[in-house]
Structure 1
Amino acid sequence: MQPAGNLDHVDRQLLSALSADADVTNKSLAARLGLAESTCAYRVRALREAGIITGTRVQLDLALLGYPLQAIIMVRLGSHTMANVNQLYDSLAATPGVIQAFHVAGADDFYLHVAVENAEALRDFVLQHVTSHRVVRQTETHLVFEVRGGAGVLAAPSDR
């Protein structure tokens, strides 16, 4: 993987533009940044090959898909062996309804961002897929009112 320090201004502009709109065409991206299309395509390919661009994602409207309720489930373990942690992490991340699974430091061990159909489905999710694991000691669930994407690490600093 190429270290971030080896990225030049053009690489960072490409990454910023792709972070804002991963669907942008090479032609449009090249025009926006004042690059030749071949140079733009080469640079993006090089960023992929270096492992800096690891994929693209589609953003879904979860409510329109029938999953209007989102929550963060905080999970605490009773046993912290490497095998228990890895097994649970793999299981939680693979559970349908989990948008993201975070292994965190602090009082909690995992945060799960989930989307479900309704409050009953949320309750069932916690009981069937989280607390059913023998190493889980405690959970705490927080409803998500709204989700907004952040500026990201390549955003221009705001004027203060």
Structure 2
Amino acid sequence: MKDKVKLDRIDLKILKILQANAKITNAQLAQEIGLSPAPTLERVKKLETSGVIKSYHAKLNTQKVGLGVSTFVMVTLKGHNKDNIEIFTESISEIDEIIECHHVTGSGDFILKIIAEDIAAYQKLMLERVTNIEVVDNMQSLVILSTFKDSKVMPIP
């Protein structure tokens, strides 16, 4: 891994704490890692500028914001070539309900995570937007019935 950043014990502790609570104050973080606030802030800024910390997000309760259906969709393209991949990825980047897209190995080419208000909204999205992407050959939908683990915390080696 040529882009790997060298992290020491304190950096790893900072990353673990920030993944659990990105809203922690610098003073609280400094206290938890055993440094004063100035060097703590310096370390966090270094982790941000090096790209180790990509961004900060609020994790929403999907039910409370009216998003009741989540699915995984395995997509197979008509041909697995650079042009088709670009057409597909550009097309799906314009669909807000597709919240994840992964290029995968196996029986399909991509796996998407899609979130919608309800089954009717999901069906409309699939029929009017996703199936109309010209390079899509086949799709298989898997409706998520319940989720038992949804961690965004990375296990840093």
Task: Please give the alpha-carbon distance, in whole angstroms, between the structure 1 residues aligned to 2:69 and 2:77.
Answer: 25
Of 148, 153, 157, the match for 2:155? 153
Matched, 1:54 2:54: yes
Question: What is the TM-score when the length of structure 2 is the normalising length?
Answer: 0.90
| Residues 14-53 of structure 1, C-alpha deviations (whole Å, 9 max, x = no match) | 1111111111111111111111111110000011111111
- Can you give the 5+ residue segments of structure 2 that lack an aligned partner in the other structure? none
Task: Please give the alpha-carbon distance, in whole angstroms, between the structure 1 residues aligned to 2:100 and 2:52.
Answer: 20
Structure 1 outlier segments of 4+, above 6 Å: none
The answer for the alignment partner of 1:158 in structure 2 is none
Task: Please give the alpha-carbon distance, in whole angstroms, between the structure 1 residues aligned to 2:73 and 2:156.
Answer: 29
Contact 2:102 2:112 in 1 (8 A): yes
Query: What's the CA shift for 1:95?
Result: 0.4
Query: What's the CA shift for 1:2?
Result: 6.0
How many residues align? The count is 154
- 2 and 131 in structure 1: CA distance in 2 versus 1, 3 angstrom threshold: closer
- Can you give the 5+ residue segments of structure 1 that lack an aligned partner in the other structure? 156-160
What is the root-mean-square deviation of aligned Cα atoms in Å?
A: 1.7
Contact 1:2 1:51 in 2 (8 A): no
Task: Please give the alpha-carbon distance, in whole angstroms, between the structure 2 residues aligned to 1:63 and 1:20.
Answer: 22
- Farther-moved stretch of structure 1 (82-91 vs 8-17): 82-91
Q: Once the two structures are aligned, what percentage of the paired residues are identical?
A: 26
Question: What is the TM-score when the length of structure 1 is the normalising length?
Answer: 0.88
- 24 and 2 in structure 1: CA distance in 2 versus 1, 3 angstrom threshold: farther
Name the aligned partner's letter for residue 68 of structure 1: G
Query: What's the CA shift for 1:84?
Result: 1.4
Contact 1:93 1:100 in 2 (8 A): no
